[in-house]
Amino acid sequence: MRDTLFLKIIAREIPADIVYEDELCIAFRDIQPQAPVHVLIVPKKLIPCVVDAGPADQAILGHLLLTAGTVARQLGVGDAFRLAVNNGTGAGQSVYHLHVHLLAGRAFTWPPG
């Protein structure tokens, strides 16, 4: 297993502002927020990208979305937030450990930039 920044956060080798954790995932504030609320929801299992997920990962992928709702309610933004998942460098992925961005606290336009 490759050592990613997120695996180091999960292992508590690197500090993070953790807002949620359970047996399958962890959620923490992004260090370069793109909105007043910007949280990353990361599976504890290393899946580098969405395209690397397989049928065995179906439950964890669903769990990430359910966790996003839990975290949004916990942070008081449960009725207005955006979720984003980048796949690959061309889409803006910089850490190769699948993660869901939860963004809230400002207006968003469509299509995203």
**Cα distance between residue 102 and residue 70, in whole Å:** 11
99 is catalytic: yes
* Cβ–Cβ under 8 Å, residues 81 and 104: yes
Residue from 38, 97, 99, 101 carrying the catalytic annotation: 99
Active centre residues (catalytic): 99
